[in-house]
Amino acid sequence: MAGMRMTVIGTGYLGATHAACMAELGHEVLGIDVDQTKIDALKAGKVPFFEPGLPEVLERNLANGRLCFTTDYKEAAEFANVHFIGVGTPQQRGSYAADTTYVEAAVDSLVPHLQGDHVIFGKSTVPVGTAQALQERANKLISASASLEIAWNPEFLREGYAVNDTITPDRIVLGVRSTNSTNSTETRAEEIAREVYATPLADGTPFIVTDLQTAELVKVSANAFLATKISFINAVSEVCEIVGADVTQLADAIGHDERIGRKFLGAGLGFGGGCLPKDIRAFMARAGELGADQALTFLREVDAINMRRRERVVDLSREILGSLIGRRITVLGAAFKPNSDDVRDSPALAVAGQLNLAGASVRVYDPEAMDNARRVFPTLDYADSLDDALADAELVILATEWDEFRQLDPEHAGQLVESKTLIDARNVLPVPAWHSAGWELHALGRSL
Ligand code: UDX
């Protein structure tokens, strides 16, 4: 089947990945962003963030001519009749709510240029009701000779696995406006989505077609559930710490129950990143606006449990060292999770920053996130290598579970540090090997 033509508006993690992967599926894609430097980088085959596998997909599809980039909305309007919006919806300053101004700006910039019949698929995570509001906004901007349907097609990609998650998703969700006419049950958006995703659909990927508000809620509910699962095990972890139980064995044991499942029961420093923390807050804010604030007050607790884990690591460091002032602490990890250079709301960086503010001399090392970390926390000391990071440390904290740290040789590490004391804040190290190399280990939710 011949590929389709489409544009992808916004070329951050979500948009750049979506654009490159749609080209990989055989479509002709034009990526648009207001940020000229981002567009220049992508045109030159450079992905402006760390995402395994994406540079290869980008280069391949630039070379075969299926993928182009521009900052010009008029060009976008003329290039295709199918448009995806993948711009950011960050947390608003001074509020829990999501900031939808970038999504609105994308509609405002594109719609006046449209001629003929168009469909916009929103991919960004938005408060329920946004798609409907955008349709009304667009109806006022569109020229009399053009038509536009806005549908919602939430994205579930995980950083670090973004290419795979986009090309072979778990499920495809599509929210469309309700069809009033009795003889047509399929909107144009649904028909087009079936063509866009023909390859994964042919492989049997579940396709859920629903109304706009359900599609919007699916996305935030999925992330709220994942956050709740992590905070659940971290709350149990707090109790384990008091009674000397082992949260990792407990998670294995309950995880065998298929109804529970072991995934996302990794107890430790908790969740961060650009999605989970922001999405649970935006969900609470939206529920409040809708008069259903009580329904989601438990998410406040999910957030609080998560934040307490960071404090616990700082407190534990103080307990171990007696005082933090002037002590040399090495934090391994700055990214919010491995295989990413993203430091947005990173638990690792939050701990490093708090220890530093409490007077410790903190040295940080991360395989990929050093530049981003430096920008957020310029006052921390950044090591050039893992060995350099470990040199003379009085306490080591494993805060992001990169393979490089999991596979660290405890004998070798022991020769570099001043004191063989380590907090495994992600519960990932092989404890017996570290013990036999003479290390004193501490962890969250279990005594070692
Ligand atoms: C998440 C969702 O998984 C994805 O579907 C959505 O599209 C965007 O948000 P992402 O932010 O990339 O993806 O990270 P994810 O892999 O979900 O991890 C989130 C955080 O939870 C990380 O900080 C991770 O370290 C933490 N985590 C995860 C735990 O603390 N314990 C676990 O068991 C799993």
Identify the pLDDT of residue 180.
59
Question: At 68, is the secondary structure helix, strand, or coil?
Answer: strand
Could you tell me if 332 and 399 are in contact, meaning their C-beta atoms sit under 8 angstroms apart? yes
Q: Which atom number of ligand 1 is nearest to the Cα of residue 401? A: 25
Closest CA to 233 of 257, 260, 273, 272: 260
- Does the C-beta of 314 come closer than 6 Å to ligand 1? no
Identify the pLDDT of residue 186.
74
Identify the pLDDT of residue 181.
54
Can 68 be counted among the known catalytic residues?
Answer: no
The residue to mutate among 158, 247, 313, having the most atoms of ligand 1 within 8 angstroms of its beta carbon, is: 158
For 308, the token pair is: 């307490």
The predicted-structure confidence for 364-375, as pLDDT tens digits, reads as follows 999 999 999 999
Distance (Å) of CA 188 to CA 42, 118, 168, 203, 213: 31, 9, 24, 22, 18
Residues (pLDDT < 70) of the chain are: 1, 179-185
Identify the pLDDT of residue 281.
96
1 CA from centroid of ligand 1 (Å): 35
Helix axes 54-63, 13-24, angle to 10 degrees: 50
- Does the C-beta of 230 come closer than 6 Å to ligand 1? yes
Identify the pLDDT of residue 429.
98
Residue with CA closest to ligand 1 atom 13: 158
Identify the pLDDT of residue 1.
59
Sign of CA dihedral 252, 254, 259, 260: negative
Q: Any idea how long the chain is?
A: 448
The structure's pTM equals 0.96
